[in-house]
Structure 1
């Protein structure tokens, strides 16, 4: 039985969701761990980033596909990445 057309997104929205999940999720994850290096010792953050980074990235990837509008998720991910990176940049 084919899927109902009203639940499918357009090809461009699908592309935006994929890129937001992969690229935007990675930017948020990376900037979050940079922020953590300001709060904790760098060696501790680097050790835990291997595990927590993958979990955070996978969660953000999933959230991108659950969103109805891909533009909103891109804006949210870019704002979060900027918010997390700003203290590191100002230091």
Structure 2
């Protein structure tokens, strides 16, 4: 009984990182008013730990961000843009496994 309990505990311990997933979200960033704004937004988002890709589109006033949900959250992303002077809100979320 002890061996199976220990084996189960070890299995769960080592499988925890596998539960994390790459997520892609679209953020609405309506405060971008010039063609230089996306650069600031992109830099701010790339500085968030766990972010692996950022695509900022000035014309659409949005940013698409791919991140590891075990390392960061949507709240951290929107806080990063707000701290850079460009408040953002979540447009949509898609879970993508990589």
- Bin of the TM-score, shorter chain as denominator length: 0.3 to 0.5
Q: TM-score, normalized by length of structure 1?
A: 0.37
Q: TM-score, normalized by length of structure 2?
A: 0.35
- Structure in which a larger fraction of residues adopt strand: 2
Structure with the bigger RCO (C-alpha within 8 Å, sep 6+) is 1
Instruction: Specify the structure having the higher radius of gyration (Cα).
Output: 2
